[in-house]
Structure 1
Amino acid sequence: MNTQISQDQINLWKSKYKDIFKITVEDKVAYLKKPDRKILAAATAASTNNPMKFNEVILLNCWLGGDEEIKTEDSYFLGVSAKINELIEVKQAELEKL
C-alpha cells in the first residue's frame, strides 16, 4: 500500500519543521523531519547496547507519514537505515588557538 501524501500536507510539515525528507525504498515511501538534539541524544543512548537502535529511534521520532511497512518490515527498515545518517546535518566548525 503506497500512502499518498498531498503537497498541502508537505507544505504544512515544512512550515512546522522546515526541512522535510522523502525516502523511497522500492514502492514504499517515508516522510521524515530532521532530528533535533533531543532525538539524537535518545538515539545515541539507545544504541549503546544495540547499534541498530540508533536508526530505529531516529526513524520513529522523525516519522511524519508514509508506508507503515517501512517501520515494521526488516527489509524496508534496513533500506531506510542506509539513509538515516544523511538526515543529520553537521555544520563545519573551526577551532583557533589564541
Structure 2
Amino acid sequence: MKTSKVRPVGSSNVTPEVIAAWKAEYPKGIWELEVDGKKAYFRKPTRDELKAAMVLMAKNDPIGMCEDIMASTYLGGDEEILSEDEYFFPAATEYQALLEMKQAEIKKL
C-alpha cells in the first residue's frame, strides 16, 4: 500500500481537511489514538505489513512487532506516541483493536 503524502507533524496540524484526505486515500478507515493529550493517526495495516510484523513476533519480539506495525501505519500527529515509552506502551495496547479480525467458522461436512 502506498504511504500517504499528507503527513502532518503534531496533532494540532491535523485539520478536518487532512482527515478528509486520509479518508479518501484509505477507505477502510483511519483511527485517532490518544494518550494523555497526545494524538496520533493510523490506518489499518495491509497483509504484507502484518506479515512483516509477525516475523518479529515469531522471533519473540512483541515490542518490535508493535513498533514496526505502528510505524508502518502511522499517518501523522504527535510523534511522541511512537518515540516515547510513556506514550508508546499504552498506545500499543489500544492499537490492537486495529488488528481485530472477523470471526471465521469451519464445519465438518
Question: How far does the alpha carbon of each residue in 1:52-92 deviate from its partner, in whole angstroms, 9 at most, with x for none?
Answer: 11111111000000111111111110110111210113111
Question: How far does the alpha carbon of each residue in 1:21-74 deviate from its partner, in whole angstroms, 9 at most, with x for none?
Answer: 000001100100011111111111022231111111111000000111111111
Q: For 2:11, which of 3, 25, 31 is the aligned residue?
A: 3
Gap runs ≥5 in structure 2: 1-8
Q: What residue in structure 2 maps to residue 84 of structure 1? A: 95
Q: What residue in structure 1 maps to residue 3 of structure 2? A: none
TM-score computed with the length of structure 2 as normaliser: 0.83
Q: For 2:22, which of 8, 13, 35 is the aligned residue?
A: 13
Q: What residue in structure 1 maps to residue 6 of structure 2? A: none
Q: What residue in structure 2 maps to residue 41 of structure 1? A: 51
**In structure 2, distance between residues paired with 1:16 and 1:46:** 28
Identical residues among aligned pairs (%): 39
TM-score computed with the length of structure 1 as normaliser: 0.91
CA RMSD after TM alignment: 1.5
Gap runs ≥5 in structure 1: none
Q: How many pairs were matched up?
A: 98
